[in-house]
Amino acid sequence: MPDISTLAVFCAATMAILIVPGPAVVFIVTRSVAQGRAAGIVSVLGVHAGSLVHVAAAALGLTALLAASATAFTVVKFAGVAYLLYLGIRKLLSKPVPEEELTLKEQSRWRMFGEGFVVNVLNPKTAIFFLAFLPNFVNPAAGPVAPQIMLLGAIWVVLGLASDGTFALASSALAGRLRRSLKARRRLDVGSGVIYIGLAAVLTGEKA
């Protein structure tokens, strides 16, 4: 297994990467601001359930296969792009729900969880992170590679829960004022839709 000094460096580097906003952070923040703290936390849990898929894939060597195959990478990449476009268009076309109806709507936590899960599973940047970054902290001489990857992946998930949970809690502080204003919530939906579509455009322009 990696030694303590290696794990410490990995933790520091991972936190530096996690605090840079990406598709998952944008998803969490917009959910937290629009629907409150609970929605943000559920979204965080969904996102990092998706992270577990990448951990398992890396441990089984599927991430390396994905990077080696231009076709496989392109399929995953554009599946992620398509989902971001779907979220963006849905936000742009949505109509704000009156405050008295929000409580009923917010009872569907499984859908929030599922959307967070899909956002991160279909995020090619996360897959490439596990290929290009995480293996640098794996030492074949220290034992089997798969358990080391699973340990480092578990650390990534724990740190991700902490950092993204902080984003959710901080951004949900704005929820009260926005929930009382239909106009403000409409602006949030439009802004969120533009961000999702912009992220899809950025991913489309990136090379495998």
Helices (H) and strands (E) in the chain, counts: 11, 0
pTM summary value: 0.70
Rounded distance, CA 131 to CA 81, Å? 20
- Please tell me what DSSP assigns to residue 97: P
Phi and psi of 61, rounded to 5°?
A: 85, 10
Give the residues of the chain that fall short of pLDDT 50: 100-105, 107, 208
pLDDT value, residue 140: 74
pLDDT value, residue 46: 94
pLDDT value, residue 23: 78
Domain residue ranges in the chain: 4-12+23-205
pLDDT value, residue 102: 46
pLDDT value, residue 90: 82
